Structure 1
Amino acid sequence: MSQAPPGPRPPVVTPTRVVAALCLLAPIVALLWVDSYARLTPAFIGIPFFYWYQMAWVPVAAALTSTAYVLVRREERARKGGDGK
C-alpha cells in the first residue's frame, strides 16, 4: 500500500512565535485602551498627550512588527534547514 503524501503540517506553538505574537499584540492593546491616554497633559512641545502618544506608537509599532517578522522568518529557516529540505 502506498501512503498518501504528507499534507501541510499543523501550526506549532514555540516560544519564538509567542514572543512574535506579543510584539504584534502590544501596539494593538496600547492603542485600543483609550482611557489610558485620553487626556491633554502632559503636553509635548505644545501637542496634547492624546495626540503625541498615538504618534509615538507609529515607530514603536513598526519596530515591533519588524522584530516579529525577523523572529518568525529565522525560525522558519531553521526549521526547514533542520528537516534536510
Structure 2
Amino acid sequence: MLDQQGRRRRWARLLFIIPLVALLWVPFYSSGSPELFGFPYFYWYQLLWIIFTSLITAGVYLFETRR
C-alpha cells in the first residue's frame, strides 16, 4: 500500500502526460500560421514544448529527490 508520499509522487509523474498529449495531437499544430520571428507555427510550437517539457522534468525530478 502506498503512503502519502508515494501518492504525491505518482501525481507528480502524471505531469508527463501534458507534453505527450500536446505533441501527439498533431491536427492542432499542423498549420504554418501564425508565424513567430519568421518561424511557422509548426516549428515554434514544438520548440516551445521542448522548453516546457524540460521544466516539467526538472520539477518532477526535484520533487522526487526532495526529502
TM-score scaled by length of structure 1: 0.66
Name stretches of at least 5 consecutive residues in structure 2 with no aligned partner: none
Q: Which amino acid aligns with 1:73?
A: T
Structure 2: which amino acid aligns with 1:71? F
Structure showing the higher helix proportion among its residues: 2
Match of 2:7 among 11, 14, 25: 14
CA contact (8 A) 1:40 1:48 kept: yes
Using the aligned pairs only, state the percent identity.
38
Aligned residue among 37, 42, 45 for 1:50: 42
C-alpha distance in structure 2 between counterparts of 1:22 and 1:46, whole Å: 34
Q: Describe the SS at the equivalent of 2:38.
A: coil
Structure of greater Rg: 1
Aligned residues: 64
Give the distance between the partners of 1:52 and 1:63, measured in 2 at CA: 17
Q: What's the C-alpha RMSD, in Å, of the aligned pairs?
A: 1.6
> 1:1-85 residue pairs with structure 2 within 5 A?
12=2, 13-18=6-11, 20-74=12-66, 77=67
The two structures have a TM-score, normalised by structure 2, of 0.81
Residue by residue, what CA displacement relative to the aligned partner does 1:15-47 show, whole Å, maximum 9, x if unpaired? Answer: 3430x2232111111111111111111111111
